[in-house]
Amino acid sequence: MTNPAIAAFIKAHQHQMIDFRRDLHAHPELPWEEIRTTQQIAKALDELGIPYRLTTPTGIIAEIQGGKPGKTVGLRADMDALPILELNDDLSYKSHTPGKMHACGHDAHTAMLLSAAAALNSIRSQLPGNVRLIFQPAEEIAEGAREMVNQGAMEGVDNVFGIHIWSQMPSGKVSCKVGSSFASADLLKVSFKGRGGHGSMPEACVDAAVVASSFVMNLQSIVSRETAAQDSAVVTIGKMEVGTRFNVIAENAVLDGTVRCFTLETRERLKTAIERYAEHTAAIYGASAQVDYTYGTLPVINEERSALLAQSVICDAFGDAALMTERPTTGGEDFSFYMEKAPGCFALVGCGCPQKGSDFAHHHGCFNIDEDAMATGAELYAQYAWRYLHQDSF
């Protein structure tokens, strides 16, 4: 069962949680620059009497020590913002820094985890085990989780749980499905080298623009003809730099893109195929190719027992109608690096409400959340930890 004291505490302190979120929203900080954000979290933890240590260069690892021996459950919130111009001109807490914005909800994640921490700390004598609080920087560039793990965030942790606020789901709904949740997110750079020359004499040249265009047009066959129909994959070229002048045939072309999928086997198949397509396309035209494939985040695959536990918590805390099953997203999430170290799961908390203007896509300049959803997220953090620590057979 869920703990009614947790629900009551979060409801009673909901305004403080919203105020904290709004303060962070007004002062967004980009990956590895979250100095003020770290200081604000540390100040809040000091007031609660929860011990913590700072990580380098930003971030915090804290721990609530229960009154009884037991396991350790980790709760993670990310806290970085994005280089996006906020377009919400009517907000009293609009970003104070032009070109920087909390356009993904990490300000809410941080505030929700602090609220959950306060609730759990108020009943810590009843906890059979410990709660590790991970306030993570640099999620947006897929570097923060790995670094937090390197700095000891998962040492001694038996299970890990995370939340992402989700504007594509109605406020009040929560999803934590078994299996695939977020895709792997890799970076792709393809460089073609031809032979430049005057635009009036193509016979003396190897046009890198033609090579690159042919590659882009053929690339989607990797998804449609080399990926199993039961699997999902995305290969996107989002940027192409080619040519220097209208009457000069390009010698070089550089393409940047991303690759997304849900299994490691599909990931390797896509990488091999991309390299083959680039090499053979270049050879057709007499050019050369170089592929730089950078592994980013792993797929987030919710461990079955953890996800089923989360589903049980959702139904008990918010009612059966609150539980929904959101389809896996090909967005990336570096929470996957924590689940390399311990089983766990990752939940989506709906914050979409058209009447409140909170249904814009993540990373949009008008992104905002229905702040009523924060109580749901904070309670879910805390109730998951409570339930996990009381699962003797888990």
Residue 363 DSSP class:
T
Question: How far apart are alpha carbons 394 and 387 in whole angstroms?
Answer: 10
Question: How far apart are alpha carbons 248 and 200 in whole angstroms?
Answer: 8
Question: How far apart are alpha carbons 245 and 68 in whole angstroms?
Answer: 72
Structure-token pair, residue 316: 């008990």
DSSP of 320-351, one letter per residue?
GGGB--PPPBS---GGGGTTTTS-EEEEEEEE
Selection from 181, 172, 112, 182 nearest residue 324 by Cα: 172
Question: How far apart are alpha carbons 27 and 20 in whole angstroms?
Answer: 11
Selection from 58, 50, 175 nearest residue 124 by Cα: 50
Structure-token pair, residue 129: 């085990």
**351 annotated as a binding-site residue:** no
What is the sign of the dihedral through the CA atoms of 354, 382, 1 and 12? negative
8 Å CB contact between 167 and 369:
yes
Q: Report the SS3 class of residue 9.
A: helix
Longest dimension (CA), the chain: 81
**205 annotated as a binding-site residue:** no
Phi-psi region of 59 (alpha: psi -120 to 50; beta: other; left: phi over 0): left
Q: Which residues of 239-267 are buried (b: 16+ CB within 10 A; e: fewer)?
A: ebebbeeeeebbbbbbbebbbbbbbeebb
Structure-token pair, residue 267: 């990931």
8 Å CB contact between 271 and 189:
no
Measure the CA angle with vertex 116, ends 112 and 121; round to 5°: 150
**Strand ranges inside 9-158, DSSP E:** 52-54, 60-65, 68-78, 128-136
Question: How far apart are alpha carbons 39 and 34 in whole angstroms?
Answer: 9
**102 annotated as a binding-site residue:** no
Point out the annotated binding site for Mn(2+). Answer: 104, 106, 140, 164, 363
Point out the annotated binding site. Answer: 104, 106, 140, 164, 363
